[in-house]
Copies of this chain bind each other. A is one copy, B any other.
Amino acid sequence: MTGLPKRLPTISQVAQAAGVSRATVSRTFSRPDLLKPETIKRVHEVAEKIGYVPNQVARALSTGRAGNIALVVPDIANPFFPPLIRAAQARADHAGYAVFLGDSDEQPEREDMLLTKMAAQVEGFILASPRLDEERVRAHAARRPLVLINRDIEGLPRILMDVSVGIAAAIEHLASLNHRHIAYVSGPPASWANQQRQQAAVRTAEKLGIHLTTVPAYHPNHEAGRKAAGELAQLPVTATIAFDDLVAQGIMAGLADLGWRIPQEMSIVGFDDVLAATTYPPLTTVAAHSADAGTQAVKLLTEVLSRGQIRDECIIIPTELIVRATTDQPTKRPRTASAEPRSETRTESSQQKPKRTGRR
């Protein structure tokens, strides 16, 4: 048990020890071009010895530039975000900014609170998949430059993902494999991302003359997918597109519990490509390139910060189908008469299979 660390060394201490003014020490670290090389050297030596590092807080107060940007996400634990966060950090670092990360826990009020508290400590905001209503987002954008990811609010710079390309590719891929009736397992109905994906799916299916049934999953996680599997098993579909990879993985587990083989008895397509290569079998999915979104957001924000102008820019990140091992031609189910109408029969048969009972 010891006392707390004393205060950090200050510019005054360095100035005194080096026999120069505070201004000179300050310039050593911010505008060395104004000083004699030997002065710089001396100050650096003294600073090193004392353990002085410029105080970012004081610097922020006097310059108004904190050297930080805020990145707010709804849930760090959702695997969609970590790659985005890493990429954002890397890019921010590159531009001399540190990233202040906030997790809103999916709650709009927490999002609001975080933005308010952070406002003075950061130069700008990046809001990923914000849950806040448009009016509040605009209010925050009026205080600090703000870039949106996965949310389309006119007049604000934003990074969007063009889901339609990827979804269309996925459905075309399934169609070419001879699937004629597929399901879309949705995410949170209120989510902007879900609306985009669902609409794109409906539109493409219509165009290709494919029968599409929507099954709700509400929460975008494994468990919801697992539950949805039960419902899927009763539908006459041979392929499923899930809201995201987590849901897809849950569906795979749920169907496996019912004894279904993938992709033979059900083709599965995920979305986001965040788990993709780690599932078994490796998941066919629509890659959303979330890391790119993080990079682009920071790039856009730092441009706004340095140019002093807000650009009503909208950067679209293309999505892309990645075919792995969960999609294949539909096969007639060996255990039910192939042409037999549907659900009841199929459900029964799948329930006859021995069910795994690992505890959860």
A3 neighbours in B (Cβ, 8 Å): 308-310
Name the one of B57, B85, B311 contacting A103, with C-beta atoms under 8 angstroms: B85
Instruction: Decide: A61 and B64 in contact? CB cutoff 8 A.
Output: no
A147 neighbours in B (Cβ, 8 Å): none
Instruction: Decide: B360 and A277 in contact? CB cutoff 8 A.
Output: yes
Contact with B along A268-300 (1 / 0, CB 8 A): 000000000111111000000000000000000
Instruction: Decide: A325 and B57 in contact? CB cutoff 8 A.
Output: no
Instruction: Decide: A121 and B57 in contact? CB cutoff 8 A.
Output: yes
- Nearest CB to that of A117 among chain B residues? B98
Q: Which of A21-29, A76-84, A163-171, A187-195 contacts B (4 or more CB under 8 A)?
A: A76-84
A263 to chain B: closest CB distance in Å? 9
Q: Let me know if A116 is at the binding interface, CB within 8 A.
A: yes
A243 to chain B: closest CB distance in Å? 16
Instruction: Decide: B66 and A76 in contact? CB cutoff 8 A.
Output: no
Instruction: Decide: A309 and B2 in contact? CB cutoff 8 A.
Output: yes
Name the one of B68, B120, B359 contacting A8, with C-beta atoms under 8 angstroms: B120
Residues of A in contact with B, size category: 35 or more
- Nearest CB to that of A257 among chain B residues? B280
Q: Let me know if A323 is at the binding interface, CB within 8 A.
A: yes
Which residues from 102 to 142 on chain A have a C-beta closer than 8 Å to any C-beta of chain B? 102-103, 105, 114, 116-121, 141-142
Instruction: Decide: B280 and A56 in contact? CB cutoff 8 A.
Output: no
- Nearest CB to that of A283 among chain B residues? B358
Instruction: Decide: B280 and A252 in contact? CB cutoff 8 A.
Output: yes
Instruction: Decide: A143 and B76 in contact? CB cutoff 8 A.
Output: no
Which residues from 55 to 81 on chain A have a C-beta closer than 8 Å to any C-beta of chain B? 55-58, 60-61, 64, 66, 68, 75-77, 79
Q: Let me know if A37 is at the binding interface, CB within 8 A.
A: no
* Most chain B CB neighbours (cut-off 10 Å) among A90, A101, A249, A308: A101
Which residues from 141 to 176 on chain A have a C-beta closer than 8 Å to any C-beta of chain B? 141-145
Q: How far is the CA of A273 from the CA of B60 in the complex (A)?
A: 41
A324 to chain B: closest CB distance in Å? 4
Q: How far is the CA of A145 from the CA of B118 in the complex (A)?
A: 22
Q: How far is the CA of A72 from the CA of B359 in the complex (A)?
A: 34
Q: Let me know if A5 is at the binding interface, CB within 8 A.
A: yes
- Nearest CB to that of A275 among chain B residues? B278
Instruction: Decide: B120 and A58 in contact? CB cutoff 8 A.
Output: yes
- Nearest CB to that of A77 among chain B residues? B82
Q: Let me know if A7 is at the binding interface, CB within 8 A.
A: yes
A4 neighbours in B (Cβ, 8 Å): 145, 304, 308-310
For the complex with contacts A4-B309, A99-B102, 17 further pairs of A-B residues with Cβ separation under 8 Å are: A1-B312, A2-B312, A4-B145, A5-B144, A56-B121, A57-B60, A57-B120, A58-B61, A58-B120, A77-B82, A77-B83, A100-B100, A222-B277, A253-B280, A277-B360, A281-B358, A325-B359
**A residues at B contact (CB < 8 Å):** 1-5, 7-8, 51, 53, 55-58, 60-61, 64, 66, 68, 75-77, 79, 82-83, 85-86, 89-90, 98-103, 105, 114, 116-121, 141-145, 222, 246, 249-250, 252-253, 256, 277-282, 304, 308-312, 323-326, 356-360
The 8 sampled A-B contact pairs (Cβ below 8 Å) are A7-B64, A56-B120, A57-B57, A100-B100, A101-B101, A280-B280, A324-B358, A325-B359
